[in-house]
Homo-oligomer: A and B are copies of this chain.
Amino acid sequence: MTAKISRFLEEVRPVTPCVVVDLDVIRDNYYSLRRWLPLAQVYYAVKANPAPEIVRMLAGLGSSFDVASRGEIDLCLANGVAAEAISFGNTIKKQRDIAYAYDRGVRLFAFDSEAELEKLAAAAPGARVFCRLLMTCDGAEWPLSRKFGCEFEMARDLLVRARDLGLDPYGVSFHVGSQQTDLAQWDLAVGKAAMLFTALDEAGIDLRMVNLGGGFPARYRKDIPAIERYADAVMTAMTNHFGNNIPAMIIEPGRSLVGDAGILETEVVLISRKSYDESVRWVYLDVGKFGGLAETMDEAIKYRIQTGHEGDDTAPVVLAGPTCDSADILYEKAQYEMPVTLAVGDRVRILSTGAYTTSYSAVNFNGFEPLKAYFI
């Protein structure tokens, strides 16, 4: 909670629910990453928070951008981003969207399959392409599925095929899992990438780039290692596996840049019990899973919450959203406690909600408006 956000909330008293994002925090986070990982070019993962205010500011600071769709390309180009600063990082693209990006000057694309490579060869001739490696992601709070990436042997063959199709086999990418707190995962992943460099070298192909993806965390309920520790883990791994021949490095932070910059202000709509036998209170907020807190799915992301009653006695609660959807429960097993003095009508603040909130909001679900956002 920054002084700036606190002042805004008190002076404006915006209608809840809303997220207030402090752009200064994002700028500081960007500078921190640049300071601790000077060799890496930052490609902001636009999907984490696609607000024009954020894109414009980061473009001004010299950031590049990782986009998932044509819509995000349009957003970047409309907000001062040069086409050369865009990486089309989604491995699942329609051929006409690849052509759309290429026509506008985008020259860097991800892939993880032969069919995608053929689309790229047809619609983006000569472009730089990088292959995403499949990783297991132990230790991530928001673990990745097997949706993206392919196994080592296939990646090797596909990069050779990229050259044969007239593309520029530029490098390799991976993702250790969002909110990854096991730093040893970086060494494993970089080691695999380096092996791919060697394998491709034998095929006469000179890979020049490692894309380390995202995975740097924001601070939720658990403490996290400082950004320096992440940077150190990454650079130690790079030096271990590439010696003094370090390739170009790309990182794609989303959550770690914008997560901590946002505060979600919400109102307590109802506090109740289900029966006389149960002591646990149900606390219903005016924001839920479909209004911006989708990352509480399976109680994966555990946000810190401030009630304004700090210091009072607390007791167990189940936290839920305002819709008629019975799946709209935030925390039932995660053992949240809230002050016994909490009352209907109180305003409650959910911390580190700058990432994956506004963009996860449903279109007017149950007739509730999507999450509003203020950038200050």
Q: Which A residues are within 8 Å of any B CB, using their own CB? A: 45-47, 50, 67-75, 89-95, 112-116, 119, 134, 143-151, 153-154, 178, 267, 269-277, 282, 284, 286, 290, 294, 297, 320, 322-329, 332, 344-345, 358-370
Contacts and interface: CB of A to CB of B under 8 A. Distances in A.
Contacts of A327: 145, 297
A169 to B, nearest CB: 18
What copy number does this chain have within its complex?
2
A359 B363 contact: yes
B370 A72 contact: no
Contacts of A332: 145
- Top 8 nearest A-B pairs by Cβ distance? A71-B367, A113-B272, A151-B275, A72-B367, A69-B367, A144-B326, A68-B366, A68-B324
A328 to B, nearest CB: 7
Contacts of A324: 45, 47, 68, 89-90, 148
B368 A69 contact: yes
Given A367-B70, A369-B71, A134 B274 contact: yes
Contact of A275 (B71, B153, B276): B153
Nearest to A361: B363
A173 to B, nearest CB: 12
A276 B154 contact: yes
A250 to B, nearest CB: 15
B367 A75 contact: yes
